[in-house]
Chain A
Amino acid sequence: MTSRFREQLEEALFPPFVALLVALIFGDLLILSYGQSPANVYRLLLEGTWGNAYGFGQVLYKATTLAFTGLAVSLGIRAGLFNVGAESQLAAGGFLAALVGLALSPAVPAVIAVPICMVAAAFGGGVVGAIPAFLRVKFGAHEVIVTIMLNFVVLAFLNWIIANHLHVPETLHTPEIHSGAIPRLSEFIPAFHGSAANLTIIVALLAAVGVWFLLFRTRRGYELRAVGLQPDAAEYGGVNVGGVWFRALTLSGAIAGLGGINYVLGYKHYYEDGFAGGSGFLGIAVALVGRNHPIGVILAALFFATLSQGGLAIHAFVPKQMVEVLQGVVIIAVAMSVPEVRRALRQARKPASA
């Protein structure tokens, strides 16, 4: 193992480790405040998630969506842009996938219908990502604020379409799609019966590989990372920074949008208002804890999915809202320890290199 690689690994692993410890301590306090035994509650949490096939299937399902939004956010951060809009990009992607799935005839075979719906989902998210990208490149409008504001605009717009034009009466969802459904894992592994996990998970893994390849094995990825580290230097080196930013944020939106198929094509087979349910915002946490590396993002997605499914497993003893508190604690602890760990490691290395 080269020392450079070891340094990077240390810098990447310390913050999540610290965060996990802090979260465990806070969890203990919350569980004790409810008069329960922490060991017992944590055991239930693990049994209800990784301890049985249904729970594990649910973890995989939730992790799939989070992997998409986490990859989306991390790709933006690699280019030096903070995409806070994954929530509405996810929703827009799911919406367009459902729209196309409704428009296609039931006669269209899945082999053709699913890819078409996937393109539609990526397109929906990509458009929502392209707007802040354009405003950033053309006018210098800060992408953080624009993506936050756009979340509200896009979600209100989708709500209007669903509530007034496309819903099944008495509900806030569209009719079921005619074509483009993605099979559940339980069709191949019966033990997963009842869980929402579906083959979208393979798309998520392919997306992670794709992002890794783009970032670390292509010229465009090299430019993207250079812009993220030092835009002025990259510009001086002949990189078109505006172009990189536009492509990065648009692609980021497209990845988040593609995540919409997990719910729409893989689970419910319709678009429902509010289905994103915070997965876009949690994608920020996933990117942060996963240190913006595709492998880290996948692991972090599994971690946050475990927490959120675990909340349901412990609900009989401690309110499931406990895991929402822990999610917040983990994000704050990681965000606080990243600069601190970097400084500490740098200091520790100084005497050795001098």
Chain B
Amino acid sequence: MNPISFLTQMLRISIPYLFAASGGVIAERSGIISLALEGFMLTGAFSATLGAYYSGSPWIGVLCGIGGGLVFAMIHAIATIRYRADQVVIGIAINLLAVGVTRFFLKLAFASSSNSPRINGFPAKLSAHGFDNPLLWMGLLVAPVLAFVLYRTRFGLRVRAVGEHPDAAASVGIPVARVRYVAVALSGMLAALGGVYLALDQHQFTDQMTAGRGFIAVAAVIFGRWNPIRAGLACLLFAAAETLQIQLQGNHIIPSQFVEMIPYVLTIVALAGVVGRAIPPAALGKTEH
């Protein structure tokens, strides 16, 4: 096995996870359960495809993708923050809604129930490994940037405060709801970028193309114990397992289904606290305060 090709493939696979998991970290650190990453990614991928198809420019696609994720994130935020709806239910509903909406408009826009026409991605001039793609670099940087924001800025402190102890945060004048709105909006846009990367990388939108990646990101958030750097490393670990599986295909050493299970099994083990218990932010999921 060629180590360079392993590394490049692993990085490319990890990018959607890195974006979505960072989105998950920021929402959950503000106290909002983030099960809708899959839906945000899917709408991001679809909006980006629409934008790139009608404009011909991948950058317009990126902007549209972020916008699509933002719209769904605002539905999530209004339902859970303003109306105090159950965050788990809303997360699952957003995922169902995203599948329905993308399928309906795929049919409306392109008269297809499986995929869009080809769209322009970022041109590959320098290398064939996808390193010309600015989104790839953004994806690699998103976790460290988020760590800086969370632990070194005023906004980050506020996010952590409303996620741990909203009453205390409110008593010192932090606008709890507003901080959470911003955190959920950011999570939607970040996760959407993961979907945008997929669509531009594959030069089209296909039905349910995120294929559970949003849930792998949820797993990475928990396995990384709600810390952006650790969550990023979890994404790389899960991507490495997947790459190993792809590169070993045909060897039949481990059935692919068992490789697919790795992120989920590791997360369950982490939650059960066999090696250092994963403890969520104190106010995660609490609607009344």
A interface residues with partner B (beta carbon < 8 Å): 30, 33-34, 82, 84, 135, 138-142, 144-146, 148-150, 152-153, 156-157, 159-160, 163-164, 278, 281, 284-285, 288, 319, 321-329, 331-332, 335-340
Contacts and interface: CB of A to CB of B under 8 A. Distances in A.
Contacts of A152: 212, 215, 260-261, 264
Contact of A153 (B75, B90, B264): B264
A341 to B, nearest CB: 11
Contacts of A144: 33, 35, 88
Q: Which 9 A-B pairs have the closest CB atoms?
A: A328-B97, A324-B100, A321-B103, A160-B257, A331-B93, A325-B100, A335-B85, A141-B271, A149-B264
Contacts of A284: 89, 92
A340 B96 contact: no
A34 B108 contact: yes
Interface in B237-280: 255, 257-258, 260-261, 264-265, 267-268, 271-273, 277, 280
B104 A149 contact: no
B232 to A, nearest CB: 19
B287 interface: yes
Given A284-B89, A319-B113, A336-B79, A146 B35 contact: no
A27 to B, nearest CB: 11
B219 A331 contact: no
Contacts of B267: 145, 149
Given A141-B271, A145-B267, A146-B268, A281 B96 contact: yes
Contacts of A33: 108
B99 interface: yes
Nearest to A138: B272
Main SS of chain B's interface residues? helix
B260 A338 contact: no
A335 B99 contact: no
B54 interface: no
A340 B260 CA distance: 41
B85 A338 contact: yes
A325 B255 CA distance: 36
A338 B96 CA distance: 20
A348 B175 CA distance: 29
Interface residues of B, number: 45
Contacts of A84: 88, 92
Nearest to B212: A152
A155 B284 CA distance: 28
Contacts of A323: 100
30 contacts: A84-B92, A135-B272, A138-B272, A139-B271, A139-B272, A144-B35, A148-B218, A149-B219, A149-B265, A152-B215, A152-B260, A152-B264, A156-B257, A159-B257, A278-B96, A284-B89, A285-B96, A319-B103, A319-B104, A319-B113, A322-B100, A324-B96, A324-B103, A328-B94, A332-B97, A335-B85, A335-B86, A336-B85, A337-B83, A339-B287
Contacts of B218: 145, 148
B186 interface: no
Nearest to B222: A145
Contacts of A150: 264, 268
Contacts of B287: 339
B70 to A, nearest CB: 17
Nearest to B103: A321
Residue of A149, A288, A340 ringed by the most chain B CB atoms within 10 A:
A149
A156 B257 CA distance: 5
B264 A325 contact: no
Contacts of A331: 89, 92-93, 96
A278 B96 CA distance: 9
Given A153-B264, A159-B257, A321-B107, A135 B100 contact: no
Most buried by B among A142, A164, A278, A285: A142
B168 interface: no
Given A153-B261, A156-B257, A141 B268 contact: yes
Most buried by A among B219, B267, B277: B267
B129 interface: no
B286 interface: no
Given A148-B35, A159-B257, A335 B79 contact: yes
